[in-house]
Structure 1
Amino acid sequence: MRRADRLFLLIHALRGRRSAITAVQLATTLQVSPRTVYRDVADLQLSGVPIEGEAGVGYVLRKGADIPPLMFNAEELEALVVGTRFVRAFGGERLGRGATAALLKIEAVLPPELRERSQRTRIFAPEVGDRIENTGLIDALHAAIGAMQVLRLDYRDGQGAVSAREVEPLALAFWGGTLTLGAWCRLRGDFRNFRPDRIVRHAPTGEIFAPDPARGFDAYLRAVNAGGGAG
């Protein structure tokens, strides 16, 4: 780990705490020796970071202190740019707008050389106008997941037959070519993955489903890893 990264993580570990944290605890978190923590804290204090406390007692960051974030390196910035492009292409309109706004804020405070680097990356996710992500359906499914709304779907299977389903939506997953809605299907009494492009109609039932460990998100992930079924 670079020392600059370690100093940033040290400050992050102190930020927002109401009680002191000892050098031993910090050393365990950062996977370094307590001696290294003592040295890093002393250096930060000398550079003006408002850390209060002492060895053997613990340290806190003075209340109200505002520490600037660690600057991104070129690879981290490129990852953010590429990630933003994928969110805009596949995450629905609402998240796409959020990703664009976030990137603008990041680029606004970058030095010129990093801003130019962010514009030179050659990994793209083109935004095609007639793709399912641009119809508003992904936004509606995403909102239903967050609100824990039971959805009524008219769903077309691979043979073209349409069935009515009531589902408890849990997650949207992108499989590198196919986006699916992971849900508990009340008709099948099991987890199912539904392709948004096969959803003929959808509407909330007005019912909010309660968290249930047996058919919630964690259980869905276990079922997917075990080869859970499609719609």
Structure 2
Amino acid sequence: MSRASRLLDLLQLLRRHRAPVAGPELARALGISLRTLYRDVATLRAQGADISGDPGLGYVLRPGFTLPPLNLSEDEIEALVLGARWVAARGDARLGAAAEDAVAKVRAVLPEALRESVDAVTLTVPGVQAAMTVVDVAGIRAAIRKEHKIAIAYRDERGALTRRTVWPLLIGFFERVMVLAAWCELRRDYRGFRVDRIAECEVTATRYPRQRKVMVAEWREKQHVVAAARN
């Protein structure tokens, strides 16, 4: 492996982690010595990468450093295009358009030899008849990013309508439906709401009082406990 490739691999490895990563862990992942890792970190810093940390404390890459022109492998191109096609087939209209735009941008900056790989990708996503939604899913996604409460009118499987204020956390995409994971003020607990059963939705100007990332961690832990109990 060339040194340039190794430096790019180190950047990609750091980008996968939000918390500091120990030097020995990075060195093992890259198959290099700890001494070489320290030299590579110093080189990237000299080139403008904002890498915080020191030996014994771990390293983290701060946002803002721009990679050189894209140099993707054919496998990476296929993974990106496949993911974009999946989103386009199952996401809301705005998200689907964003997926197509993202692929177009990637294609535009690829070396000419790799551009054909985008069009000739060997993987595909089967079409599905997704459940129809009547609310603006893009608005729900915006509320999640801003950590704002939403007021919804929700129909259960029997058609009974309830009005609730929920704290939206995540949208899960399944084969035919989308499910909103949220804290429900009515039930005072985490709940899942099928988006196609939300009859009305209003994004409020009120932020919910807890950090979303903390609540997502709690929600994931609850899912693990429920899954373990079923097994």
TM score, norm. by length of structure 1: 0.70
Residue 78 to residue 183, structure 1, CA distance change in 2 (3 Å): same
Q: Deviations over 1:181-209 (max 9, x none)?
A: 00001111111000011011111343221
Provide the rounded CA distance (Å) in 1 between the counterparts of 2:42 and 2:188: 57
Shift of 1:91: 3.2
User: Is the CA contact 2:181–2:190 (under 8 Å) kept in the aligned structure 1?
Assistant: yes
Shift of 1:163: 1.1
CA 1:148–1:32 in 2, change beyond 3 Å: closer, same or farther? same
What secondary structure, in the 3-state scheme, does the structure 2 residue paired with 1:164 have? strand
**Alpha-carbon distance, 1:158 to partner:** 0.6
2:146 aligned with 1:147: yes
- The answer to which of 211-220 and 201-210 deviates more is 211-220
The structure-2 alpha-carbon separation of the partners of 1:114 and 1:182, relative to structure 1 and needing over 3 Å to count, comes to same
**How far did residue 103 of structure 1 move?**
1.3
- What is the deviation of 1:161? 0.9
- Alignment match, 2:124: 123
Distance 1:92 1:37, change over 3 A: same
Percent identity of paired positions between Structure 1 and Structure 2: 33
Q: Mark the CA change 1:98 to 1:227 in structure 2 (over 3 Å): closer, same or farther.
A: same
SS of equivalent to 1:181: strand
The amino acid across from 2:205 in the alignment is G
Q: Determine if the alignment matches structure 1 residue 174 to structure 2 residue 159.
A: no
1:226 aligns to what SS in structure 2? helix
Per the alignment, residue 190 of structure 1 pairs with 189
Give 5+ residue unaligned stretches, structure 1.
16-22, 42-50, 54-58
Query: How many correspondences in the alignment?
Result: 203
Partner SS state of residue 216, structure 1: helix
Whichever residue aligns with residue 125 of structure 2, its letter is: F
CA RMSD for the aligned pairs? Answer: 3.7
CA separation of 1:199/1:26 partners in 2, compared to 1, >3 Å: closer, same or farther?
closer
Does residue 81 of the first structure (1) align with residue 66 of the second (2)? no
1:6 aligns with 2:19: no
The offset of 1:94, in angstroms, is 3.1
SS at match of 1:158: coil
Inter-CA distance 28–153: structure 2 relative to 1 (3 Å threshold): same
Change in CA separation of 1:105 and 1:170 when aligned onto 2, cut-off 3 Å: same
Match of 1:61 among 36, 46, 49: 46
Instruction: Tell me which amino acid in the other structure corresponds to 1:221.
Output: R
Shift of 1:125: 5.3
Give how far 1:138 is off: 1.4
| Closer, same or farther: CA 216–126 of 1 in aligned 2, 3 Å | same
Contiguous gaps of at least 5 residues in structure 2 = 16-22, 50-64
With normalisation by structure 2, the TM-score equals: 0.70
**1:88–1:127 contact (8 Å) kept in structure 2:** no
Instruction: Tell me which residue corresponds to 1:224.
Output: 223
CA contact 2:177–2:195 (8 Å) conserved in 1: no
1: CA distance between counterparts of 2:163 and 2:135? 21
